[in-house]
């Protein structure tokens, strides 16, 4: 949510900053802005995408310096206007600041600053922080930032410059991600995420909460907000440039859908011992005993990750016979939850930065739970705040609509369930059988992807309909929720996902002539029941699109369209049934002319509660 990039070095900053900002655009794209030091601070801001800012800069002089910062915004406080776009400035010392996060006590601080005579030009919380730093400035930017941050509550990743100190960049973080890339020439790129850094350097360090870093061309020093020195851990950034480029695809979402076979192979690699019929998860080994003895598992997440978590719950109960529940992180945190001894909490998140999930994790830890993470982004806040965990290893996900992270999360949760099952009740034979089936999942996904043209054609038949239903049972009830979410978020079509049996308890009233109802009707324990639910929709005029198992010719008699998936054991079926649903959402959005990778009102990583 909001992307920030800053540069200090010897190269011209403008191009470098804009390139970095484009790579972070998935984090927000309401408006963008840049400030470059060139004798004085030059600032430009524009409503819209980074391209609008770039266009504006073409007609402007003075943006030639080699110290600067920039921002792409996802609005929280204040509407989408140029005045509310970052960077924000103070009114005394030529201070400019970009910010990702929310200053929660901004109203009280604003009143205090107004009483001191400061005049505000925006409605943002960020301008309040810029003014506060200005108010506290006594000739040392680092000290003023530390002093200001001692006064604020909330979340922030900030980069700050000051005209009076033209060779200094101060950056800090609490709650929102920020990392410093160390170049080979005493130059630094600071950004919300490694995608904006990797083309310059792979040597980075992540800021921890309350870290403040002062960077100059002579070096850097890291402290906390009380000026106590901190030793950051420099590490290698493991991102491949190819992974964050379109590579010939029209959209990242489509690229990521097609990457799933490769991503899942990487996710499973080295984690399945087929001979011994067991799962090897190095990330859990330190807590093997506690995990084996767990009495209850609470899986917590938001959005797509929550749907994966729901599948995780079915897996844990079905395979490991372990009482499990799923919780919206945002609800769990404030519900005064009961955590008994032996509770394991699993936070599921692609970004590892989702504020709701992070807060739920902290709550659970405080109440004594063992905290595990199922995270994609290595080194992200949640991955660092959990006791142990398993990374997805599916590579960077750039499309706002999550696809390969979802299948990665389901695959990892399947591995964790088998890991627990094997230590509790499952024999090597049964576990080995399921692992062998898992190994074949990537190849089966490839077979579904070959049907993309058919899926496109079916989708286009219904793309003008404004209301859709997605229905499934058991393991594929969460998949139905995910199908509906995908369609909503990128094609802006109203869609509801629900258990197929729930429909007759009310939602069936919605069905009218021609309403598309997508049924997940693969072979499994509830196949017959799903078929009955299909009849209920058909007899009321609904048009049924079924996701069915190859070889099921009978189903064609009962539905308008069928999309086939290869046969697969039921616990693994969501890994296949979701693929046609992802493609349907993609083709619907394209047919409706939407910007698939940057859907309206959304941002990839939701770092505010």
Residues constituting the chain: 609
The contacts of residue 338 (CB under 8 Å, 6+ apart) are none
Task: Supply 367's token pair.
Answer: 């109440």
Among 211, 260, 343, 357, binds ligand M6R (CB under 6 A): 357
Candidate list 204, 605, 607, 608; residue touching ligand M6R; CB under 6 A: 605
Site for ligand M6R contains 573 (CB under 6 A): no
State in angstroms the smallest separation of the CB of 354 from ligand M6R: 3
Stretch that binds ligand M6R, among 83-91, 343-351, 421-429, 557-565 (CB under 6 A): 343-351
Q: Write phi, then psi, for 300 (nearest 5 degrees).
A: -130, 140
Pick 161 or 481: Cβ nearer ligand M6R: 481
Return the number of the residue (38 or 304) whose C-beta is nearest ligand M6R: 304
Q: Which is nearer to ligand M6R, 127 or 363 (CB)?
A: 363
Instruction: Give the per-residue contact string, 456-495, with ligand M6R (x = CB under 6 A; - = no).
Output: ---------------------------------x------
Minimum CB–partner distance for residue 606 and ligand M6R (Å): 5
Question: Applying CB under 6 A, which of residues 349, 407, 414, 582 lies at the interface with ligand M6R?
Answer: 349
Cβ closest to ligand M6R, residue 151 vs residue 595: 595
Question: From the CA atom positions of the chain, what is the Rg in Å?
Answer: 25
Are the beta carbons of 70 and 46 closer than 8 angstroms? no
Site for ligand M6R in 255-314 (CB under 6 A): 302-305
What is the token pair recorded at 295? 């009495």
Q: Could you tell me how far CA 84 lies from the centroid of its own chain? A: 25
Nearest approach in angstroms of CB 313 to ligand M6R is 17
> Judged by CB under 6 A, which stretch of 169-177, 182-190, 345-353, 436-444 contacts ligand M6R?
345-353
Within a 10 A sphere around the Cβ of 58, how many other Cβ atoms? Answer: 6
| Residue 124 touching ligand M6R (CB under 6 A) | no
CA–CA separation, 258 vs 449, rounded Å? Answer: 7
Contact 471, 499 (CB under 8 A): yes
Helix (H), strand (E) at residue 446: helix 441-449
Pick the binder of ligand M6R from 126, 211, 350, 533 (CB under 6 A): 350
Q: Which stretch binds ligand M6R (CB under 6 A): 206-214, 400-408, 523-531, 556-564?
A: 400-408
Strand order in the sheet with 165-174: 88-89, 95-103, 154-162, 165-174, 211-216, 219-224
Smallest distance, ligand M6R to C-beta of residue 577, A: 17
DSSP track, 461-495: HHTT-SEEEEEE-GGGHHHHHHHHHHHHHHH--EE
> What does DSSP say about strands 516-521 and 543-549: parallel, antiparallel, or unpaired?
parallel
Among positions 361, 401, 503, 547, the unique one binding ligand M6R when judged by CB under 6 A: 401
Please, what is the minimum distance in Å from the beta carbon of residue 72 to ligand M6R?
17
Within residues 41-60, the interface with ligand M6R by CB under 6 A covers none
Site size toward ligand M6R, by CB under 6 A: 15
Strand partners, 175: 156
Residue 426 or 606 with smaller CB distance to ligand M6R = 606
Q: Which is nearer to ligand M6R, 402 or 526 (CB)?
A: 402
Alpha-carbon span 591 to 463, nearest angstrom: 7
- Among the listed residues 354, 383, 526, 582, the single contact to ligand M6R using CB under 6 A: 354
Bridge partners (DSSP) listed for residue 468: 495
**Cα 154 → chain centroid:** 20
Distances 386 to 270, 306, 383, 444 between C-alpha atoms, Å: 23, 17, 6, 33
> How wide is the angle at C-alpha 588 spanned by C-alphas 568 and 461, nearest 5°?
85
Of the candidate spans 10-18, 60-68, 136-144, 397-405, the one that interacts with ligand M6R by CB under 6 A turns out to be 397-405
Residue with tokens 């086939």: 564
Active site residues: 2, 604
Query: Angle at CA 291, nearest 5°, toward 288 and 293?
Result: 110
| Exposed/middle/buried for residue 496 (C-beta within 10 Å: 0-12, 13-18, 19+) | middle
CB of 256 to ligand M6R, least distance (A): 11
User: Quick check: 351 binds ligand M6R (CB under 6 A)?
Assistant: yes
CB of 585 to ligand M6R, least distance (A): 9
Residues that bind ligand M6R (CB under 6 A): 302-305, 349-351, 354, 357, 400-402, 489, 605-606
């Amino acid at each position: 949510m909001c992307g920030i990039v800053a540069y200090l070095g010897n190269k011209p900053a403008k191009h470098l900053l804009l390139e970095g900002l484009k790579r972070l655009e998935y984090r927000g794209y309401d408006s963008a802005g840049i400030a470059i030091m060139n004798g004085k601070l030059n600032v430009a801001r524009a409503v819209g995408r980074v391209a609008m800012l770039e266009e504006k800069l073409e007609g402007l002089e003075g943006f030639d310096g080699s110290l600067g910062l920039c921002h792409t915004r996802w609005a929280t406080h204040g509407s989408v206007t140029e005045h509310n776009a970052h960077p924000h400035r103070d009114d005394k010392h030529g201070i400019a600041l970009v910010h990702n996060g929310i200053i929660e006590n901004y109203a009280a601080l604003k009143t205090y600053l107004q009483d001191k005579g400061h005049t505000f030009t925006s409605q943002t919380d960020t301008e309040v922080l810029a003014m506060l730093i200005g108010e506290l400035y006594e000739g040392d930017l680092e000290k003023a930032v530390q002093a200001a941050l001692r006064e604020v509550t909330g979340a922030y990743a900030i980069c700050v410059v000051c005209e009076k100190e033209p060779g200094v960049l101060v950056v800090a973080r609490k709650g929102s991600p920020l990392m410093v890339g160390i170049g080979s020439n005493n130059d630094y790129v600071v950004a919300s995420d490694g995608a904006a850094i990797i083309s310059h350097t792979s040597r980075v360090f992540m800021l921890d909460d309350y870290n403040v870093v002062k960077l100059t061309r002579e070096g850097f020093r890291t402290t906390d907000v009380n000026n106590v020195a901190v030793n950051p851990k420099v590490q290698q950034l493991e991102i491949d440039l190819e992974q964050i480029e379109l590579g010939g695809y029209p959209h990242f979402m489509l690229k990521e859908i097609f990457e799933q076979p490769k991503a899942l192979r990487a996710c499973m690699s080295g984690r399945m011992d087929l001979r011994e019929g067991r799962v090897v998860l190095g990330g859990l080994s330190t807590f093997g005993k506690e995990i084996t003895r767990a009495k209850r598992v609470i899986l917590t997440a938001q959005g797509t990750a929550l749907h994966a978590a729901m599948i995780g719950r079915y897996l844990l109960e079905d395979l490991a016979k372990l009482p499990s529940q799923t919780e919206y992180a945002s609800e769990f945190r404030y519900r005064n939850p009961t955590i008994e001894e032996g509770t394991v909490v699993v936070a599921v998140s692609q970004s590892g930065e989702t504020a709701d999930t992070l807060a739920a994790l902290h709550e659970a830890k405080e109440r004594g739970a063992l905290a595990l993470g199922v995270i994609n982004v290595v080194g992200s806040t949640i991955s660092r705040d959990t006791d142990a965990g398993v990374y997805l290893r599916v590579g960077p996900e750039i499309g706002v609509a999550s696809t390969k992270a979802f299948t990665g999360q389901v695959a990892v949760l399947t591995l964790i369930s088998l890991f627990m099952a094997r230590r509790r009740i499952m024999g090597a034979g049964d576990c080995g059988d399921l692992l062998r089936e898992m190994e074949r999942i990537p190849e089966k996904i490839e077979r579904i992807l070959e049907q993309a043209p058919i899926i496109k054609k079916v989708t286009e038949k219904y793309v003008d309909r404004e209301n859709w239903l997605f229905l499934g049972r058991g393991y594929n009830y969460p998949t139905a929720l995910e199908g509906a979410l995908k369609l909503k978020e990128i094609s802006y079509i109203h869609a509801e996902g629900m258990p197929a049996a729930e429909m007759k308890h009310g939602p069936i009233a919605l069905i009218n002539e021609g309403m598309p109802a997508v049924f997940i009707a693969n072979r499994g324990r509830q196949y017959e029941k799903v078929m009955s639910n299909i009849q209920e929709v058909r007899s009321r005029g609904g048009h049924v699109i079924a996701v069915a198992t190859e070889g099921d010719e009978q189903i064609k008699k009962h539905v308008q369209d069928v999309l086939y998936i290869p046969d697969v054991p039921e616990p693994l079926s969501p890994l296949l049934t979701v693929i046609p649903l992802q493609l349907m959402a993609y083709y619907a959005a394209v047919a409706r002319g939407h910007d698939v990778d940057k859907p309206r009102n959304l941002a990839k990583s939701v770092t505010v509660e």
